[in-house]
Amino acid sequence: MIFNSIIFGIAFENIPVNVTQKKRAMKLNQTNTQQQRILPTQIQYLNFLKLQQHELQQTIREEIEENIFLEEDIKNDDEPAGDELDAELTYADADTYEDEYSFKETGVNDSKLHNEKHDVMNNTEGLVYAREQLLEEIRTLNVSTEEFDISEYIIHSLDNDGYLRVTADDIADSLSFAWQRMVDIETVQHVIELIQNAGPAGLAAHNLQECMLLQLFRKERKTKYDAIAYGIVEDDFNLLCERNFTAICQKHEINDEDIKMVLKSLKKLHASPCNLEDAVNLKTRKEDSGIDFVISEDENGKLQGELVESFIGAVKINTVTAETLKALSQKKNKTKSESSKETYLKNKAQSAKWFLDCISQREHSMKLVIDSIITIQEKYLRSGNKQDLVPMVLQDIADRTQLDVSTVSRITSARYAETVHGKLSLKDLFTFGIQADNGNFISNINVKEMLISIINEEDKTNPYTDDQIAKILAGKGIKIARRTVLKYRDEFGLPAAKYRSRKAA
């Protein structure tokens, strides 16, 4: 503003102006507006904060697949780590890797399917899906009435792991008998393919081999190793089950490094395409798995909040790729191809750094928020009594953590903590305060509890009106308007006084 005034002063000083110019100058309005631009990375970070645990896991998996600079950091005592794996992994003695790379072929009608199926990552859980959800996805495909009816039969024939243990022939025979009309096998097979494309990758597979092929086929970003893996699973699944990697390498003309990358690709597949549950179980499953924090006492009796699962260290920088970029950067005379490769790797490196920073910053911010909430609501968290709730709004947490209010809102939205009193929604801890006559602020939750108590204890032959309830609360030092009483009463579904009235016996 001072700088602008100096400039304008120099511009108009000692310059004769006529009346018209004066009027024109008087009409000039100087406005100083400040615009805040949010960078795309900041928007991505804010969206990152809202991710639930399972969503973040999926995001990490997708980022690892997309960014060559990232890799999963697997800390497993049974598995060699880092360079040791690269240097010592050979396949001459396949039994050495029986536990790590184990496959069992299972047929359509194999009753031991669930117990015997394994894949290289033991990813047996998969996604949680409801059969009703799958049916709704099929309905959106504008299928015919017959196709939808067949879909319904097939979906309810899937086992809980998403496998279809019956053949298309058996399904056609069963439906023909039940409907008293011929059902074509081709139509049934077409519907099976629709379900396989509509649901999670691998759904409605008849066996593990088909399940793996469907997942590899549906993969969005395929590498050359995915293509090799597809050919091995399709043509030499028995060799894979036998862990005869030497024979696989010879038949497909690949080396030890190639087969290692193929197995790495296969390790990302799920042995169970999904976990099918009904709508009620699905809802319960989601609620039960929605715990983000655990609030408990430490050895000194102090309340502390911890994240249920930390993702810091779950992903790391690929050292081989980092060394490749370092070597390219130090090279003086680069070819055009090398320069392009260096630019590509630099972009991926920057993206990887940002991604790791986001994971770290997300958990740091979440820890700050939960610690501040515990500090303010410690009495309630210990007692579980709503009367001990302290008025607390998002701004209170923002002031304590030096985070933006929008950040606090994203962290606390749809987040739950496990306490000694059970599962608790963080949003339920936020209440605004009503100032009492003594100057103290009382949580609106407490006021609502008092209102319910007044109504429960009233004379039902002559119940209190909203105005009378407001006066009773005022007598307790809490002054609220009659319309506020009406609002609170409506929240609890309590009728007006004339509808609560009962005739005396």
Instruction: Write phi, then psi, for 370 (nearest 5 degrees).
Output: -65, -35
What single-letter amino acid sits at 295?
I
Burial of 362 (0-12, 13-18, 19+ CB in 10 A): buried
Q: Tell me the per-residue pLDDT of 403-432, one tens digit each, with 9 for 90 and over.
A: 888 888 888 887 888 888 888 888 888 876
The DSSP line for 37-91 is PPPHHHHHHHHHHH--HHHHHHHHHHHHHH-TTEEE----TTS--THHHHHH---
Q: What pLDDT shows up at residue 121? A: 37
Burial of 269 (0-12, 13-18, 19+ CB in 10 A): buried
Tell me if residue 422 falls in helix, strand or coil: strand
- Are residue 394 and residue 438 in the same domain, yes or no? no
Q: What pLDDT shows up at residue 224? A: 86
Instruction: Write phi, then psi, for 68 (nearest 5 degrees).
Output: -65, -20
Q: Could you tell me the CA-to-CA distances from 415 to 257, 406, 425 in Å, in that order?
A: 44, 15, 6
Residue 39 in any domain: the answer is no
**What are the tokens at 498?**
């004339």
Q: Tell me the per-residue pLDDT of 309-358, one tens digit each, with 9 for 90 and over.
A: 888 888 888 888 889 888 888 888 888 888 888 899 999 898 888 888 88
The closest alpha carbon to 190, from 198, 180, 182, belongs to: 198
Q: H or E stretch including 249?
A: helix 245-252
- Are residue 474 and residue 405 in the same domain, yes or no? no
CB 48 within 8 A of CB 54: no
Give the range among 408-412, 443-447, 496-500 with minimum mean pLDDT.
Answer: 443-447
CB 443 within 8 A of CB 420: no
Q: Is the pLDDT of residue 471 over 60?
A: yes
Place of tokens 């009233």: 458
- Are residue 422 and residue 442 in the same domain, yes or no? no
Out of 429, 453, 477, pick the residue that ends a domain: 429
- Are residue 385 and residue 493 in the same domain, yes or no? no
What is the C-alpha separation between 369 and 426, in angstroms, rounded? 10
| Residues in a beta bridge with 71 | 316
> What residues have CB less than 8 Å from 29, skipping those under 6 apart?
none
Beta-sheet pairing, 127-130 with 274-277? parallel
**What are the tokens at 274?**
């999904």
What one-character DSSP code corresponds to residue 386? G
Out of 375, 397, 429, pick the residue that ends a domain: 429
* pLDDT band (50, 70, 90) for residue 400: very high
Convert 453-485 into a string of H (helix), E (strand) and C (coil).
HHHHCCCCCCCCCHHHHHHHHHHCCECCCHHHH
Instruction: Write phi, then psi, for 70 (nearest 5 degrees).
Output: -110, 150
The closest alpha carbon to 291, from 423, 452, 164, 176, belongs to: 423
pTM for this prediction: 0.47
CB 466 within 8 A of CB 497: yes
Chain centre distance of CA 39: 23
- Are residue 106 and residue 243 in the same domain, yes or no? yes
Residue 269 in any domain: the answer is yes
What is the C-alpha separation between 372 and 396, in angstroms, rounded? 9
- Are residue 341 and residue 360 in the same domain, yes or no? yes
Average pLDDT, the chain: 75
Number of neighbouring beta carbons within 10 Å of residue 266: 22
Out of 429, 444, 461, pick the residue that ends a domain: 429
CATH of the domain at 442: 1.10.10.60
What one-character DSSP code corresponds to residue 313? T
What is the C-alpha separation between 259 and 219, in angstroms, rounded? 19
Residue 91 in any domain: the answer is no
Residue 292 in any domain: the answer is no
- Are residue 343 and residue 362 in the same domain, yes or no? yes
Expressed as residue numbers, the domain containing 145 is: 101-274
Q: Which residue has the higher pLDDT, 171 or 277?
A: 171
Q: What pLDDT shows up at residue 404? A: 85
> What residues have CB less than 8 Å from 177, skipping those under 6 apart?
none
- Are residue 199 and residue 251 in the same domain, yes or no? yes
Number of domains the chain contains: 3
| Residues in a beta bridge with 416 | 291, 425
- Are residue 474 and residue 448 in the same domain, yes or no? yes
Residue 23 in any domain: the answer is no
What single-letter amino acid sits at 375?
T
- Are residue 383 and residue 267 in the same domain, yes or no? no
Residue 332 in any domain: the answer is yes
Give, in degrees to the nearest 5, the angle at Cα 434 between 428 and 435: 145
Give the range among 125-134, 298-307, 326-335 with minimum mean pLDDT.
Answer: 125-134
Which range scores top for mean pLDDT: 14-18, 189-193, 197-201, 283-287? 189-193
- Are residue 122 and residue 234 in the same domain, yes or no? yes
Residue 69 in any domain: the answer is no
Residue 87 in any domain: the answer is no
- Are residue 326 and residue 404 in the same domain, yes or no? yes
* pLDDT band (50, 70, 90) for residue 374: very high
What is the C-alpha separation between 325 and 319, in angstroms, rounded? 10
The DSSP line for 131-147 is HHHHHHHHHTTT--HHH
Q: Tell me the per-residue pLDDT of 89-108, one tens digit each, with 9 for 90 and over.
A: 333 333 333 334 444 443 44
